[in-house]
Structure 1
Amino acid sequence: MTSVAQRPPLAPTPTGEPAPAPRRRASPAQIGALVGICALAGLLYAWDIGASDYGNSYYASAAKSMTQSFNHFLFGAFDPYGVISTDKPPMALWPQAISIAIFGFTPWSVILPQVLEGVLAVFLLHRTVRMWKGENVALLAALIFALTPITVAINRDNNTDALLVLLMVAATYAFTRSIYSGSAGGRTRWLLFSAFLIGCGFVTKWMEAWIIVPGFALAFLLASTGSIRRRITDLLAAGGVLTVASFWWPVLHDVWPGRKPYMGASLDGTALDVVFGYNGFGKIFDFGQTYNGSGINVALGIVGMSGGNADIGRMFIHEVGGQISWLLPLCLLVLALVGAAGYRRIWDRVPGDRLDNNGWLTWGSWLLVTILVFSFVQGIWHPYYTAFLGPPVAVVAAAGIALLWNRYRSSAGRGWLLLPLGVAVTVVWAVALSGRDAHWHGWTRWVVVGLGAVAVVGLVLGRARPGLARGGLAVGVVAALFTPAVWSAGTAIEHGTNGGFPSAGPPNTAFMALLRGELGPDVEFPSLPPGIEPGMEPPPGMEPPPGLLLPPGVELPDFSNLPTGPPRGGGIGGPTLYPLMRQMLDYAVANSGDAEIKLAVEGGGLVAGAFIIQSDHMVIGMGGYLGADNAPSVAQLDRLVADGDLRFVVSAAPGGPRLGGIAGMGGEIQQQRVAWVESNCAVVPPSAYGGSEFDPEQMLPIPNFADAMLYSCGAGR
């Protein structure tokens, strides 16, 4: 080890403008490969999207409602009356609303924008990595990204993540252009454009877009040229652009003088409350602001889709691992190697390659910071959020394979062993992941084991016989990508578990039963955390996972005593308007007279979405997503009824809150509306519209329509 006194002096820092090595033009074969990868991505993302059932019915309802007026479009109204917005800013829904306005409201027109966003993200990722590592690594990164299982699932859905990922890849492209720019003005302009795109990400999915900011700022300070003063000035200017680009929409919403939707998931109807509360800083830091509702994780935890507990292993657990973690061990190995080499250069005062270091810092920080944030986030966290990790995993893995290959060929010591080690680790983890659900393409395990063995043997023998080395590398890459590729194809062809909570891999039959309202004892439940079983309290000293936190006064039932078959009215949370729902809506429309609002539905977007999707009548969903928002308030309901604008309401049957009912997740605010309806409206006999009487014994311990009753309000009730 070199002592401090013996360390060589630090080489002088290069001055002047950067002079990156000129890149060779792509060959026809490389251009064809890029076209083929983009075409493959488009095929996976667009395959049979007409069968998607509108994806997430909550966002599909909003996209349809946003076509009703400019105000609805600007503020992301959930319902056609504009009572409340979604709990996200509207940028991701704008392309969906435009597509609906052009092509009509169909499943494929709702999903089409995400397909295009996904393909464009693959293309931009290639162009970004090409500046750093050249064509071959860029092509491999694009292929890995296109074949990432959760990437396929999210681009076949209408959640906000597809646009968010595209904006982040575009921001990284602009940032890389800034680092590689040959002029001071070019560096500044591209950096400011990158900050603007990150701000657009904020207007897409709040603070998740800011995860990449710390790494980008550090990379710019270390890798950009020019004086330190100029770099700091540029970063401050970028911070100003980021602030304006992020907050223009929340501020516009809150200062808008005219009519506007109540901001979903807020406590006071403002967008800034969401940013600094439940869906923003509060989700990350858990500083005490409590949302009104119990959360959809109540149901998702029962069917094994809650996202698990907050700890460092979250990215590898059963619900999450198959979505994104296939290449994570390889990525972590590569980043450890890069970090160790960087530390050694700093210790020995040997300057490294500025541009190469920037690439590792940019993509590596995106990967590591995201893993840390996602692993320890305190609020509701869903496995499909891991789509945000798709780009850095693909790039770090592709660049890492190239790095290990160079070490393999040039190392005079034992460094060559790192490449076969990386192949072996990746193969072992792929076998472990696919073995968790061996009934769904579990055969890939044996193919991967065989390919991995051939690759490792080829790489070991290739040290003595170089002709075998390239073959071993190629087989190793195929072994690493084989099972994720099969999962991605299966997700596209078999549709996986899409809808409100998209996921790749084997369809979750319990989740689909939940949406249909058929979750009974005959349903095969996925594995729950150790020590937690349906109908049981967690062991002493063990905190229940987020998915099993129940509303006050509501107990988790014993699943063994549940009735079989669908409950009265069917399930909720999807686009299906079950017969009882249709009967209630038809009766309300026929008897509402001149009332502008034909029906108000308790239970929020989970219940009202089907009414909005399957009809063109003026239907409002009370309480936002879960029914927990104070919109419409009791005072607003009173005024709407008094003015003759509302006559019929769907609410819960009389009695206390029920976990399986339509008013079982919204907390105190929801119960205030339920009590107002019971006091001010009269139950319409089910026989009047062809329905059946409510039987409390048929309740299921999931969100469903079983206890829904139609109420008549106002004069002549």
Structure 2
Amino acid sequence: MSARLRVCSPGLVVLLLSTAVLYLWNLGASGWANTFYAAAVQAGSSNATAMLFGSSDAANAITVDKTPAALWVMDVSARVFGFSPWSMLVPQALMGVAAVGVLYAAVRRAAGPGAALLAGWILALTPVAALMFRFNNPDALLVLMLVLGAYCTQRACEKDASRWWLVAAGVAVGVGFLAKMLQALLVLPAFALAYLVAGPSTLRRRVLDLGLAAGAVVVSAGWYIALVELWPADARPYIGGSQHNSILELTVGYNGFGRLTGNETGGLGNLNHDVGWGRLFGFSMGADIGWLLPAALVCTVAGLVLTRSAPRTDPTRAALILWGGWLAVTAVVFSYMNGIVHPYYTVALAPAIAASVGIGATLLWRSRRDPRAVSAMAATVMVTVLLAAQLLSREADWLPWLRIVIVTAGVGAAALILANSRLGPRASRAVAAVALLCCLAAPAAYTVVTAATPHSGAIPSVGPARTGGFGFPGGGLLSSPTPRPDLTRVLAADADQFTWAAAVVGSNNAAGYQLAIDAPVMAIGGFNGTDPSPTLAQFVDDVAAGRIHYFVSGRLMTMGRAPASGSQESVAIRDWVATNFVAETVDGTVIYDLTESQPAHSSGQ
């Protein structure tokens, strides 16, 4: 009982309650958030097949372009509480609170409760964390599973620990794979290195244990890949994001090595002009994650230096290897990947940054009588506040006084840290508190305003509300249309008489109409409109069989650039409909009633 009470300390309670308020407050303001995933939750909450495969619609035309574990969590909530923005988003927020709690538990075992509280607050107050734990993308489940895997790996490194902790870590990473595929595997080198260095058994046993853990990853992730591959293709939806209806192709190609090389068949071309080490501090990602990144690197290196003489199995050094390795590998991949990469992906760095700073800063503070440790602390504070001022300057009209305050107070605190040997204990602690507040003030302010701002679309952004990004008003590649009342009424009429009430090119276009009319809408071509699903021949057959009521004309998915790679079936379908059916404009949107008359000829046969 006493151990449990120590774990549930007042500091932890305040941390978790504060995180819950931050992530749950006014959560419904974002509405359906990312309608691409919201439509899939709507489908999965009413159809078991759609839930199993992650279909975009309840009639199971095509899946989302990810494995669906994150959707399963939201599907279950929607089935229990009814489908609504709250039932969809609350599980995401609770997973964020859980991630903070598990991170606290992991860091506490390695460096004590003070380091754990610092790490927990840093994670909770990271802008991109507040963004994604209040949103319905797969990243919330991914991050929770990776933090849980790190905790289990740390437990496996402890004296007399069971190898089953390492197996549990493998299972957690496998579940993370089912949320966001190969991105989950980026932590494995760090997990393996930490256990190989600090595991409690012989080297041979440690290697065998790592093999067992690797098997756990394969089994916990691979069962679903095998299930989809072995399931008859005509009895399941098309696998979105692939060109050959294959989840293996999706895993290795579009969501795998294609993200590294930029060779993503079915993608929309390479928009990356910031490839390199500066990306994480640049205009696209800096405000999401860059605030404490230099501090994390300094704290990791300093922590490893300070523990260099510790026994091989030292838990603090093992934790630094684990979290620092996670940070290094993921940061390098995000910085240099040439394929599709969005700023919010950086939420995967947040736990590693938080843990590295929490552990490393605590070690430096304990060694504050050493001039080298003091110099490292002062330099870290100086770099952090100057970087914060630079990041804040990108929103020059937002809280301009904050830059002045944190730089002035932060530089002063850094100078006093250098004079630490001349300060008394109380003064020293006061200076440390001021320095810490200056380092956290900017990201905390950005986090609060991020949580207070409603977000929607496929690429949400942190910070004060602003326009921009890749969305298009009224519907397009990365935003969804919101049909006006007359169009909604027309599309919803007799919807239960058809397999699909309507069809439109692109999943985001389809999601907007589907959420409005609460009936299946076929997403022709999947997310980008470049998947060969359905083919023109299949679409013609569906029309002839009376399965589709309307075709809605929407923006095609090339974003004004050269035609994308992948299938052009969606273009052929659009042209066939325009040639053979009569256009009607409702509320400014062109639609075609596919039941009014059968076409005189069919180029799809």
When normalised by structure 2's length, the TM-score is 0.92
Q: What RMSD, in angstroms, separates the aligned Cα atoms of the two structures? A: 2.7
Which residue is 1:268 aligned to? 244
Question: Residue type of the partner of 2:125?
Answer: L
Candidates 335, 351, 360, aligned match of 2:320: 360
Matched with 1:321 is: 286
3-state DSSP class of the match of 1:620?
Answer: strand
- Report the Cα distance in structure 2 between the residues aligned to 1:254 and 1:312, rounded to whole angstroms: 38
The match for 1:331 is 296
- What are the residue-to-residue correspondences of 1:168-247 with 2, within 5 Å? 168-183=146-161, 186=162, 188-247=163-222
Counterpart residue number, 1:678? 578
SS in structure 1 at match of 2:397: coil
Aligned to 2:483: 578
Once the two structures are TM-superposed, the CA of residue 716 in structure 1 deviates from its matched residue by: 4.5
Hey, what's the Cα distance between the residues in 1 that align with 2:5 and 2:544?
72
Contact 1:100 1:106 in 2 (8 A): yes
Amino acid at match of 2:594: S
Residues 1:118 and 2:96 are matched in the alignment: yes
Unaligned runs of 5+ in 2: 600-605
1:668 matches 2:573:
no
Counterpart mapping for 1:431-442 below 5 A: 431-442=389-400
For residues 438 and 92 of structure 1, the distance between their equivalents in structure 2, rounded to whole angstroms, comes to: 37
SS in 1 for 2:503: strand
Go from structure 1 to structure 2 and tell me whether the alpha carbon gap of 1:86 and 1:658 turns closer, same or farther (over 3 Å shift): closer
Aligned to 2:502: 599
* Cα 1:129/1:308, change in 2 over 3 Å: farther
CA drift of 1:176 comes to: 1.0
Q: Deviations over 1:355-383 (max 9, x none)?
A: 22211110000000000111111210000
Structure 2 distance, partners of 1:29, 1:651, is 57
Distance across 2 between alignment mates of 1:168 and 1:593 = 42
Say whether the 8 Å CA contact 1:274–1:280 is kept in structure 2: yes
CA contact (8 A) 2:532 2:567 kept: no
TM-score (normalised: structure 1): 0.78
- Write out per-residue CA displacement over residues 510-566 of structure 1, whole angstroms, 9 at most, x where no aligned residue: 349x4434xxxxxxxxxxxxxxxxxxxxxxxxxxxxxxxxxxxxxxxxxxxxxxxxx
Per the alignment, do residues 352 and 422 of structure 1 end up closer, same or farther by CA in structure 2, a change over 3 Å counting?
A: farther
Which residue in 1 is equivalent to 2:519?
617
Q: For the Cα contact (< 8 Å) 1:324–1:390, is it kept in 2? A: yes
What residue is the counterpart of 1:128 in the other structure? 106
Is the CA contact (8 Å cut-off) linking 1:251 and 1:271 kept in structure 2? no
- The residue aligned with 2:538 is 636
Which segment drifts farther, 247-256 or 459-468? 459-468
SS of equivalent residue, structure 2 residue 9? helix
CA distance in 2, matches of 1:511, 1:312: 22
Instruction: For 1:119-518, list aligned pairs within 5 A.
Output: 119-183=97-161, 186=162, 188-257=163-232, 259-286=235-262, 288=263, 290-294=264-268, 308-338=273-303, 354-409=314-369, 411=370, 413-467=371-425, 468-495=427-454, 497-511=455-469, 514-517=471-474
The letter of the residue matching 1:316 is F
Other structure's SS at 2:225 match: helix
Provide the C-alpha distance between the structure 2 equivalents of 1:144 and 1:83, rounded to a whole number of angstroms.
Answer: 42
AA partner of residue 516 (structure 1)? P
Is 2:54–2:67's contact at 8 Å kept on the other side of the alignment?
yes
CA contact (8 A) 2:132 2:344 kept: yes
Q: For residues 436 and 363 of structure 1, what CA distance do their matches in structure 2 show?
A: 30
Code of the residue aligned with 1:458 in structure 2: it is: L
Matched residue SS, 1:162: helix
Tell me if structure 2 keeps the 8 A contact 1:78–1:85.
Answer: yes
Q: 1:666 to 1:610 in 2, by over 3 A?
A: farther
Secondary structure of the corresponding residue to residue 159 of structure 1 = coil
Q: For 2:423 and 2:252, how far apart are their aligned partners in 1?
A: 61
Report the AA paired with residue 261 of structure 1. P
Please say if 1:75 is aligned against 2:48: no
Deviation of 1:474 after TM superposition, in Å, equals 1.0
Counterpart-to-counterpart distance in 1, 2:267 and 2:423: 65
Paired residue secondary structure (2:350): helix
CA contact (8 A) 1:122 1:145 kept: yes
- The answer on whether the counterparts of 1:308 and 1:317 sit within 8 Å (CA) in structure 2 is no
Q: CA deviation at 1:220?
A: 1.1
What is the aligned-residue identity percentage? 33
Q: Distance in 2 between matches of 1:78 and 1:338?
A: 47
1:184-212 per-residue CA deviation (whole Å, 9 max, x = no partner) reads xx1x1110011011000101000010001
What secondary structure sits across from 1:614 in the alignment? helix
Instruction: For residue 88 of structure 2, give the secondary structure of its aligned residue in structure 1.
Output: helix
Contact 1:145/1:391 (8 A) holds in 2: yes
AA aligned opposite 1:462 = N
Residue number in structure 1 paired with 2:36: 58
CA deviations 1:458-515 (Å, max 9, x no partner) are 32333112332111111111110011111111111233x5442222112232349x44
Question: Structure 1: how far apart are the matches of 2:496 and 2:280?
Answer: 54
CA distance in 2, matches of 1:93, 1:29: 32
Gaps of 5+ in 1: 1-23, 302-306, 518-569, 693-704
- SS of residue in 2 equivalent to 1:92: helix
CA, structure 1 residues 160+200, in 2 after alignment: closer, same or farther (shift >3 Å)?
Answer: same
Identify if the C-alpha distance between structure 1 residues 28 and 340 changes in structure 2 by more than 3 Å, giving closer, same or farther: closer
Say if 1:588 and 1:50 are closer, same or farther in 2 by CA, change over 3 A: closer
- Give a deviation string over 1:426-485, Cα, whole Å, max 9, x none: 111111111121212232111212321342243233311233211111111111001111
Tell me, what secondary structure is at the counterpart of 1:601? strand
d(CA) in 2 for partners of 1:445 and 1:169? Answer: 32
Which of the two has greater helix per residue?
2
> Retained in 1: the 8 A contact 2:480–2:512?
yes
Count the aligned residue pairs.
595
Sort the Cα spacing of 1:678 and 1:444 in 2 relative to 1 into closer, same or farther, 3 A: same
Matched, 1:41 2:19: yes
Deviations 1:135-171 (A, max 9, x none): 1110111011111111001011000001100000111
How much has 1:671 moved relative to structure 2?
1.8
The structure-2 alpha-carbon separation of the partners of 1:107 and 1:590, relative to structure 1 and needing over 3 Å to count, comes to closer
The alpha carbon displacement at 1:225 in A equals 1.9
Query: Displacement, 1:685?
Result: 3.1
TM-superposed CA distance for 1:351, in Å, is: 5.3
Between Structure 1 and Structure 2, whose CA radius of gyration is higher?
1
Distance in 1 (CA, whole Å) between partners of 2:252 and 2:477 is 30
